[in-house]
Amino acid sequence: MSTRDTPAQIGDLPPIGHPATSALIEAGIGSLAQVAACSRSQLLALHGVGPKAVRILEAALQAQGLGFAD
């Protein structure tokens, strides 16, 4: 899937940019609950997911009373 074809946002995830969104889709992650099952290092290991995307995801998790698995 090209990042050009990737939606700006999926499920209840915040907008984190096309490369990071594409990486999550390819990893089968489409919700905050699925993100919460991952560690920061697992997310950062995905090509396209960087520190900024992880910070945005962490803020969204905290707003829901969730956190990363690590």
The per-residue pLDDT for range 16-45, each reduced to its tens digit, is 999 999 999 999 999 999 999 999 999 999
pLDDT mean across residues, the chain: 91
Q: Residue 9 corresponds to which tokens in the numbers above?
A: 């946002």
Q: 12-63: what CATH class?
A: mainly alpha
Confidence band of 61 (pLDDT split at 50, 70, 90): very high
Instruction: Give the C-alpha separation, 44 to 24, whole Å.
Output: 11
* Mean pLDDT value across residues 42-68: 97
Q: pTM of the prediction?
A: 0.87
Q: Does the pLDDT at position 8 exceed 70?
A: no
